[in-house]
Structure 1
Amino acid sequence: MSKTGVGTIAAGVAKAYADKIVISGYDGGTGASPKTSIQHAGVPWEIGLAETHQTLMMNDLRSRVKVETDGKLLTGKDVAYACALGAEEFGFATAPLVVMGCIMMRVCHKDTCPVGIATQNQDLRALFKGRAAHVVNFMHFVAEELREILAELGLKSVDELVGRTDLLSRKSNLASRRPKAAAMNVEALLYQHEGDRFKKIEQNHHLEQGFDLTELYPEAQTAIAQGLSFKGKYQLKNEQRDVGVITGSMITRAHGSAGLPEDTIFAETTGHAGQSLSAYTPSGLTIHHTGDANDYVGKGLSGGKVIVNAPNTQREDEIIVGNVCFYGASHGKAYINGKAGERFCIRNSGVHAVVEGIGDHGLEYMTGGRVVVLGDVGKNFGQGMSGGVSYIFPSDVAQFKQENKLASLDFDEITVDAERDVLKDMLEAHVRYTDSFKAKKILEDFENVAKKVVKVIPKDYKLMMQKIDLQKHQTDVLDEALLNAFNDKREVLAPEQQRTAVY
C-alpha cells in the first residue's frame, strides 16, 4: 500500500531477496471493500512509487527487483507517468471491469451485481455482455497511446522511460485554477539518482544452500523418481526455512497433482524449525517434526501430512507452532501437539487438522475442511468463515458460546453416529502420531463427548449442503443438483427436510 515510509519497507524486502515490489495506490479497489478503507487507506500511488524507486536506487537495490504499481490506472498517459516515476510493470483492474460492463454499484460482495460480473445468480449472469476481446482491445489502445508518448519523447522502449523524472515538470498555470496544487512542493518526487533504473540482475535466493537441496532431496531423489518408500531423520535449526517445499515440488513434477501414496516420503525432524515448514507439500510427503516451528507451518498444504510433536509433556500446554499456519491450505492432514499462534487455518479449504489451542483470528475466511481444537480459542474466532466444520473443546463451553457467537455461525451438537466416528478417528490419529495427553483424556470418556465439544458450522454452508442433499434425491446428475440447490432461495428448511447432518 502506498504510504509514507514505504520506501524503507521496499528496501528491506529487496534485501530479503524479493523479486517484485508492488505499490498500490489509495484509489481503485474492489467494490467489496469497506467504505472506510476505500476513503482512508493509503495515499496516491505517485507518492509511494517515487519514494520506493528513489530509496531502492539510494541503496543500490533497484537493479535487483521489478517495481509494479496500480491504483486506477486508466490510460496510456497514466502508464507513462508511472513509468517515469519508477515503475516497470502496471496493474489494471477497474478499467478492464468497466470495459466488461461494470457500472460501479459497489455490491461485489452481495451477489446482486446488476450487470452479471460479480454474482453467481443465473438470472443476473445472463445480463453479462462483456467479452475478452473488449479487454484486449482496450489494452491495445493503452499500449498505442503509450507508444505515441514514447515517440514524442524520442524514446525507443518502455525501459528507457523508467525513472526519467527529468522528463516531468509541474504545470506553470496552476495558481489561478488550483491554488492548493500550486502551493505543493513536488521537487522531492522528481529528484533523480544516478544508477540503474530498472531490473537487470536476478536475485540470488541461495536455494542451493537450503535444507531440501543439501539434505532431504538428494537422499530421497531416487525414491521419488521410482515411487518407492523413503524414510530419513534430520536435525533442524530455525534458519532452515521452507523445509519440504522443494522436495514436494519434485514429487509433483515427477508424479503430477496426484502425488504419491500417503507417507511414501517420510521425513522425521527434530529441533527448532524455521518458517514455512512443509509449505505447499503434496500427497505422499509427510514431515513429522519433534520440537517447535516458526510461522506458516503447512501454508498452502496440497495433500501432504504435517505432524508437530511437543518435545515433552510440559510443552503441550505452550505455543508450539507460530502464526498463520495452514493459510490457504487446500488438502492434507495436520496434527499439532500444542497450541498454535494467531490466524490459524485462515482460508483453509480442505485440510483436516487437530490442534490443542489457537490464538486470535482463528479460522477466518475458512471455506472447507475440518479443524479440531483441543482447547481454547482467541479473539475474533470464525470471522468470515463460509465453509467447513470445526469442533472446539473449550475449557468452558458456555463461555465459548457467549464470547464467540456470530450471526453467521451455528453452534451445534453432535447427534449422528457417523459424525461421532469421524471425530473419534481424528482424535485417535492425533494420539497415534503425537501421544497427546489431551486427546487421550477425551477418548477415555468419549461416550460423553457431546457435552464437551461445540460444533461450529457456518449457517449458509449448512443450509446449502442440506439443499444439495435434497436435490440429490430428485436427480442423479450432480451438476443439475448443485444448480438447483443454488437457485433454491429458501432461507430455512423444515425439520423433516434436513435429512443429513453436515460434517
Structure 2
Amino acid sequence: LFSFIAEDVRHILASLGVRRLEDVIGRTDFLHQISRGSELLDDLDLNPLLAQADPGPYARFCTLQGRNEVPETLDAQMIEDATPFFERGEKMQLQYGIRNTHRAIGTKFSGQIVRRKRGADLQVDHVTVRLRGAAGQSLGAFAVRGLKLEVFGDANDYVGKGLSGATIVVRPAPSSILVSQDNTIIGNTCLYGATSGRLFAAGQAGERFAVRNSGAVAVVEGAGSNACEYMTGGTVVILGPVGDNFGAGFTGGIAFIYDPDADFEMRINPDTLLWNRVTETYWAQHLRDLVTEHARETQSLYAERLLNEWERTLSRFWMVVPRDYARFLPVPMTAPAAEKIPAE
C-alpha cells in the first residue's frame, strides 16, 4: 500500500517540476483558489492563507536532527536500586518522594520483572515501593505481580490502568487532617481494563471507576458517575456513595456498595443488573474479609469503624451482579428460604 502511495507522490511532485517533498513545503504558489459555482462558497477569500512567509536565510522545513528525548522516569532509578532483586531475587523495600510529574510509576519496572523474572514465583510484595507525595497519571499502569506500590498522599487519573497482578495502596499522608471517606484520593478512570491484582484507596475515586475491569479486586470509599461501566470480571467494594449510571454495560464480576443514605437504587443502571442485600453467609464473610484487608492496608479509620459495627454495616450493603452472570456464582446471591416443616 505504501509503495503505491509513494509512487503517486512521485508523480505529483514530477508534475510540479520538483524532486523532493522538501521542495514543496511552504510553496503556496503551487496553490490557487477554485470556484465551486456557488455564492455561498465563492465569496470566501483565501488569499491571506496563500501568502508566502519569508524564511530568510533558513530552510522552509524543519532541519533539526534527532528527536526531543523524553526524560527518564522514576522507574529508571527504581530498577537501578532494585539490582539485588533482579540479580539475586532478594525481597526489598524502596522509598521515594514524588510529584505529579512522575507518571506511570511502576510500569517500566514491571516490564523488567516480566523480562528478567518470567516464571518466577514472586510474593505479592516481593518489592514494596513506598511513595510520598502526589503521583502523576497512570500510577501502576500494567504493573505485575511481585510489585507493591504504597502511596502516602494521593494520585491522579488512571491509577492501576491495565493492572496485571500488582498491589496498589493509596492512603492520605500521616499529617493529613482530611476525612478519608469525604475526600477524593485517586482520579478518574482508575482500574481501567485491569485483569488482576488489588487496589485499596482510603478515599473516594473519581468518575468511571473500574471501567472494563476484568479481574482485579478493589476497595475504595466512594466513586463518581459511571462506576463499574463495562466491567466483565473481578470484585469491587465501594464503601460510600456512587454517582449516576452505576454499572452500565456491567456484564461480569461482583460489586458491593455501602448505601447508608438509601439512594443507591436511584443511581444504578437497572437494565441488566440484579441487586440484593447481602444475606448469604458466604458473601457476607467474603465482603468482610475485603473490608478487613482494606483497613489493614490503608489504616483507614472509616473502614475500622464499619468493621466495629459490622452487623449494622452489613445491613446497608448491596450486592450487585449482572443478570446473566448470577447463575455462574459459586454461591447464590441470597440465602435459600428456610424449609417449612408441617405441624404435626
TM-score (norm. length: structure 1)? 0.57
Structure holding more helix per residue: 1
* SS of aligned partner of 1:404: coil
Instruction: Map 1:165-184 to 2 at 5 A.
Output: 165-171=28-34, 173-175=35-37, 178-184=38-44
Superposed displacement of residue 265, structure 1: 0.8
SS at match of 1:339: coil
Q: Deviations along 1:143-164, whole A, 9 cap, x unmatched?
A: 6544543443455566766666
**Please, which runs of 5 or more residues in structure 1 have no aligned partner?**
1-135, 470-497
Shift of 1:500: 5.3
Aligned CA-pair RMSD: 3.3
Aligned partner of 1:356 in structure 2 is 221
Give the equivalent residue in structure 2 for 1:430.
294
What does 1:34-433 align with in structure 2 at a 5 Å threshold?
145-154=8-17, 165-171=28-34, 173-175=35-37, 178-187=38-47, 190=50, 194=55, 195-196=60-61, 201-207=66-72, 210-214=73-77, 216-256=78-118, 260-312=122-174, 314-317=178-181, 318-397=183-262, 399-433=263-297
Residue identity opposite 1:281 in structure 2:
A
| SS of residue paired to 2:284 | helix
- Structure with larger Rg: 2
- Alpha-carbon spacing, 1:153–1:267, altered in 2? closer, same or farther (3 Å): same
Q: Does the C-alpha gap of structure 1 residues 295 and 147 become closer, same or farther in structure 2, counting only changes over 3 Å? A: same
Q: How far apart, in 2, do the equivalents of 1:243 and 1:352 lie?
A: 20
Residue 451 of structure 1 corresponds to which residue in structure 2?
315
Identity of aligned residues (%): 34
Residues 405/275 of structure 1: CA separation in 2 closer, same or farther (3 Å cut): closer
CA contact (8 A) 1:360 1:378 kept: yes
* Structure 2: gaps of 5 or more residues: 335-344
Work out the CA distance in 2 between the residues paired with 1:198 and 1:297: 39
Contact in 2 for aligned 1:259/1:282 (Cα 8 Å): no
Report how many residues are paired: 326
SS in 1 for 2:75: helix
SS in 1 for 2:133: strand
Whole-angstrom distance in 2 between the partners of 1:381 and 1:188: 52
Higher relative contact order (CA 8 A, sep 6+): 2
Q: 1:423 Cα deviation (Å)?
A: 1.8
Secondary structure in 2 aligned to 1:152?
helix
Q: Hey, what's the Cα distance between the residues in 1 that align with 2:169 and 2:192? A: 16
**Aligned residues of 1:236 and 1:272 also touching (Cα < 8 A):** yes
The CA distance in 1 between the partners of 2:281 and 2:248, in whole Å, is 29
Partner of 2:185: helix, strand, or coil?
strand
- So what's the TM-score if we normalise by structure 2? 0.80
Q: Is the 8 A contact 1:273 1:294 kept in 2?
A: yes
Letter of the structure 1 residue corresponding to residue 277 of structure 2:
E
Instruction: Return the offset for 1:454.
Output: 1.2
Partner Cα separation in structure 2 for residue 455 and residue 191 of structure 1: 66
Give the whole-Å Cα distance in 2 for the aligned partners of 1:336 and 1:213.
26
Residues 274 and 320 in structure 2, CA contact (< 8 A), matched pair in contact too:
yes
